[in-house]
Amino acid sequence: MEKNGKKNGIALFSGIIFGLGLGLSQMIDRQRVLGFLDLAGTWDPTLLFVLLSAVTVTAIAFRFVFSRLRPIFAEKFYVPTRQDIDSRLVAGAAIFGIGWGVSGYCPGPGISALAIGSWNPVLFLMAMATGMIVFNRFNKQ
């Protein structure tokens, strides 16, 4: 129980840090995201800077993390092991990209954007959850 408490605390804390990062980098403003995706318009490089700085941190820090035998509060690393490129991966990413371009939200910014007081992220998240639930139902059969 005590260990679960610590893990829950880390989850809450890292969620807050992630949300602060999405706010500071203005990814919670969907027009910024759409501005990045609009290569033929007034291109906004913000998202490129955000993704590159985030990946620079993870690419360096993950090397040190994975040099450990196990995480600090958990028994093992829960990391995907698949390495094959299949049609589901490509089709899924393609569908996700279309939804991203239509709405200007991906899952993280959609949640943090609830703080800006607009109905857009509320509706986006309800539709996203519906999409996941419907997919899971069909995928089970």
Partner 1 sequence: MVAFEPVTALIGGSLIGLSATLLLLFNGQIAGISGIVNGAIEFKADRNWRWLFIAGLLIGGWLYERAIASQPTPTDEFSPWPMIIGGLLVGVGTRLGNGCTSGHGVCGLGRLSVRSLVAVLTFLTTGFITVFVTRHVLLLG
CB of 45 to partner 1, least distance (A): 6
Question: The tokens of 71 are what?
Answer: 């995480």
Distance CA(139)–CA(130), nearest Å, equals 14
Q: According to CB under 8 A, which one of 1, 2, 69, 129 is a site residue for partner 1?
A: 129
Backbone φ, ψ for residue 95 (5° rounding): -65, -45
Sign of the torsion angle spanned by Cα atoms 111, 113, 118, 120: negative
Per CB under 8 A, contacts with partner 1 among 52-81 are 52-59, 61-62, 65, 68, 70-80
How far apart are the C-alpha atoms of 68 and 5, rounded to whole Å?
22
Q: Which is nearer to partner 1, 2 or 119 (CB)?
A: 119
Tokens 């899952």 — which residue?
A: 107
- Least CB distance to partner 1 at residue 38 (A): 5
C-alpha pair distances (Å), 72 with each of 7, 42, 62: 9, 45, 14
Footprint of partner 1 on 4-23 (CB under 8 A): 4, 6-8, 10-23
- Least distance CB 141 / partner 1 (angstroms): 14
Q: Does 1 bind partner 1 (CB under 8 A)?
A: no
Under the binding rule (CB under 8 A), the answer on residue 38 touching partner 1 is: yes
Binding mask 77-116 for partner 1 (x = CB under 8 A): xxxx-xxxx--xxxxxxxxxxxxxxxxxxxxx-xxxxxxx
Q: Where do we find the tokens 């840090």? A: 17
Distance of closest approach, residue 43 Cβ to partner 1, in angstroms:
10
